[in-house]
Amino acid sequence: MQTAVEVKSFGKRFKKTIAVEDVSLTIQSGEIYGLIGPDGAGKSTLMQAVSGVLRFEKGEITVFGEKIDSEASANRIKRQLGFMPQGLGLNLYPDLSIDENIDFFANLRGVAPEILHTRKAKLLDVAGLSSFKNRAMKNLSGGMKQKLGLVCTLIHQPRLLILDEPTTGVDPVSRRDFWEMLNQLVREEGMTALISTAYMDEASRFNRLSMMHQGKVLDQGTADEIIRRTPGWLIEIESARSRELLPALNDAFEHVEELGDMIRIGGFALQSAEAERRLGMILQDGTESWSYSPIGLEEIFIQKLDNRSQNTPQMRLTENRSSHRKEAVSTDSQDTLIRAEDLVRRFDSFTAVDQVSFDVRAGEIFGLLGANGAGKSTVIKMLTGILPPSGGAGFVAGHNMATSSMSIKESIGYMSQAFSLYLDLTVSENIDLFGRIYGLSGKRLKERHQWVLQIGHLQKECNTSAGSLPMGKRQRLALGCALIHQPKVLFLDEPTSGVDPIGRREFWRILVQLAGELQVAILVTTHYMLEAEHCNRLALMQAGKVVAYDSPKNLKATLKQQKGQVLSLKVSRPYQAQSILESNGYSEVALYGSRVRLFSQEPETVGKDVAALLADKGIEITDVMILQPSLEDVFIEKIESSHSREA
């Protein structure tokens, strides 16, 4: 195989900060190579350097045999290169139609008119955009913008495709369609692709990948290799008495997470047999059911970072318990604290929120999920009384928020997406400021000040300015500030976006603690589908409507009843395997890197059939897994069935 891109000890600094340090990687032609890591990992920097649009000081980058070291040499490879920068549709021209956008990119790239015509028709067809050709780009949905971006980047048939976070903030169906489209085009045109993502669950989509964090590569290879190199196990326990079990589990295992009605424990150093023994002792009577679940890149990422920085504060739920019990508000856990009743919001002719109903009880973490633009923030604004609804009503603790008094609004905690803190003030100054805004003073303010520092583990950072805190700590401070007046209801709008997996895990631990011990009703929005697992119940929004509303467990169980389990096969020639299966009547065969996936009610028998069929065509199967449907699968199913209902 030929080498398409070679990066050798690449390094780049922006003024004083080091963006990327000593990164080396090789991309073979024809593969889909992934850069995976949270914000600030250096993915964009590396991609821009490979694209020849960013100068760098250290290392060497070679693309198709051309060393990229000057504007002139970079120019020589740009003909063969398609680059889509970060930000959904931001590189497109909002006032131009789909057709005009494509024509501009084609003319810019000197695509001959006769080729352009057929190529455009083909790409539009694959993207499913043919019938919207004359629509202005600014009026497209997030998913459509993303596909148009891809079409524009592909119009000149580049040999190397570089896409910077193409799937961030789009809905699960668009995400799946995007990967299908990309797989098809890469296969048909023999392209090489370098793609970055912040979603760890997308790792399986790549042939090979580099896992990055703070400018460094943590590990490289196929997702399977990386997982094999860091052996560990993950057990999910379903229990009705999770709160009782937690202390014992925390003592016995390294990683314990409370996810809705589930507890997930994991370990890397510990042998799984020993883990089973310890678990057996804790569960004893055994009314709980537990099962192994496949370990993902997210867990490995956290494990690798834990090894690097041993001083990361390990927070224990029990730690602050005594101090909280005093402050716990006595509320019946069946109290509905937040209720949305047929909420509707129209902006001119556009309906942003369409008859949304749900309720959130005290002590519950409720997830409001959806892509960017699905209407999540608008719902929150109506529930907090910032925005009057066009129809329906939002209630907090029984009060209609459109008409309620200021004092009720003050009993809400609200943390917005960004900038709720004053970045030039220190941690302590921020806390005091928010405290005084909510009318605290004297001893009371001091007490609450200490509480915020404690819950956010910020004791050491008292005098650091909020702006210089890492995102994870900054979000914990913002959370603390939103809680300074002890609200019973907490609204969190995308609290974890831009936070790395460790920071996210810490953040969720605090939320679980708040819900469990203080009986706070928490409504949280997110576009990380992985985070949905943390919620007791959730609502998935798609284009202003709620398309799924239940607990994660029930949602998955329902899908399992409907469609069965997931059969995942690692095969030698995935593209071929996919088309063979499709032509033999298997529906919804999806491609994940070197694996094909399909749903089946009888995975064992179907597995055998498929294996025979593929072996017949000379395709090797190296691994077979039977997986439970994920929430992502649920969401895709729900969105699609809501589409077909409308159609």
Partner 1 sequence: MMNLHTVKTLAYKEWLEIWRDRVYFSMAFIFPVVMMLVLGFGLSFDVEKMPFVIVDYDNSDESREYSYKFTSSRYFDYKGHARSTKETETLVAKADIRFVLVIPPEFSQKIKRGQRAQIQALIDGMFTYRASMVSGYLAAINGHYNAQLMRSWAMKNSGMTEHEVQAMLSPVSLETRYLYNNELKSIWSTGTGLIILVMLVSPAMLAALGVVREKETGSIFNIYASTVSRAEFITGKLLPYVLISYINISILCLLALWIFEAPFKGELSLLLVANLFYVASAAAIGILVSTFVKSQAAAALISMLGTMIPGIMYSGLMMPVESMSAEAVVEAHAFPAMYQLEIIWGAFLKGQGWSELWFNILILFGFVLLFWSLAILRFHKRVDE
Interface contacts to partner 1, rule CB under 8 A: 14, 48, 51-55, 70-71, 74-75, 78-79, 81-83, 85-87, 90-93, 95-96, 100, 104-105, 107-110, 136, 152
DSSP category for residue 465? B
CB of 213 to partner 1, least distance (A): 21
Sheet hosting strand 565-571, strand order edge to edge: 590-592, 595-600, 565-571, 621-627
CB of 111 to partner 1, least distance (A): 11
CB of 84 to partner 1, least distance (A): 8
Contacts 24+ apart (CB under 8 A), 383-386: 383/338, 383/340, 383/343, 383/491, 383/523, 384/409, 384/412, 384/414, 384/491, 385/409
The encoded tokens of residue 574 equal 């995935």
Contact 164, 212 (CB under 8 A): no
Q: Give backbone dihedrals phi and psi of 271, rounded to 5 degrees, phi first.
A: -70, 145
CB of 496 to partner 1, least distance (A): 24
Give the torsion sign (CA, 44, 299, 317, 320): negative
Give bridge partners of residue 33 from the DSSP assignment.
194, 208
CB of 185 to partner 1, least distance (A): 18
Nearer to partner 1, 84 or 382 (CB): 84
CB of 276 to partner 1, least distance (A): 51
Nearer to partner 1, 83 or 358 (CB): 83
The encoded tokens of residue 302 equal 């956290």
Nearer to partner 1, 107 or 468 (CB): 107
Nearer to partner 1, 91 or 576 (CB): 91
Nearer to partner 1, 157 or 355 (CB): 157
Contact 282, 319 (CB under 8 A): no
Contacts of 60 (CB under 8 A, 6+ apart): 6, 7, 8, 9, 10, 67, 69
Give bridge partners of residue 5 from the DSSP assignment.
27, 63
Q: Which residue has the tokens 């023994």?
A: 277
Nearer to partner 1, 215 or 552 (CB): 215
Nearer to partner 1, 11 or 82 (CB): 82
DSSP category for residue 136? B
CB of 75 to partner 1, least distance (A): 7
CB of 68 to partner 1, least distance (A): 8
The encoded tokens of residue 229 equal 């190199």
| Distance from C-alpha of 391 to C-alpha of 345, rounded to nearest angstrom | 7
Task: Determine the 3-state secondary structure of 389 from DSSP.
Answer: coil
CB of 104 to partner 1, least distance (A): 5
Nearer to partner 1, 11 or 629 (CB): 11
Left if phi > 0, otherwise alpha if psi is -120 to 50, otherwise beta: which for 401?
Answer: alpha
Question: Of 553, 540, 570, nearest to 629 (Cα)?
Answer: 553
CB of 153 to partner 1, least distance (A): 9
Contact 382, 355 (CB under 8 A): no
Strands 365-370 and 289-292: unpaired
CB of 127 to partner 1, least distance (A): 18
Question: Of 236, 235, 260, nearest to 555 (Cα)?
Answer: 260
Contact 373, 142 (CB under 8 A): yes
Q: Give backbone dihedrals phi and psi of 19, rounded to 5 degrees, phi first.
A: -85, -45
Question: Of 198, 194, 175, nearest to 186 (Cα)?
Answer: 194
Task: Determine the 3-state secondary structure of 368 from DSSP.
Answer: strand
369 to 292, 326, 427, 465, 541: CA distances (angstroms): 26, 33, 30, 32, 6
CB of 336 to partner 1, least distance (A): 43
| Distance from C-alpha of 200 to C-alpha of 636, rounded to nearest angstrom | 18
Burial class (CB in 10 A: 0-12, 13-18, 19+), 430: buried
Nearer to partner 1, 107 or 291 (CB): 107
Nearer to partner 1, 20 or 529 (CB): 20
CB of 417 to partner 1, least distance (A): 19
Q: Give backbone dihedrals phi and psi of 452, rounded to 5 degrees, phi first.
A: -65, -45
CB of 514 to partner 1, least distance (A): 37
| Distance from C-alpha of 104 to C-alpha of 426, rounded to nearest angstrom | 48
Nearer to partner 1, 92 or 510 (CB): 92
Nearer to partner 1, 43 or 176 (CB): 43
Nearer to partner 1, 13 or 399 (CB): 13
CB of 69 to partner 1, least distance (A): 10
Nearer to partner 1, 74 or 211 (CB): 74
Nearer to partner 1, 82 or 370 (CB): 82
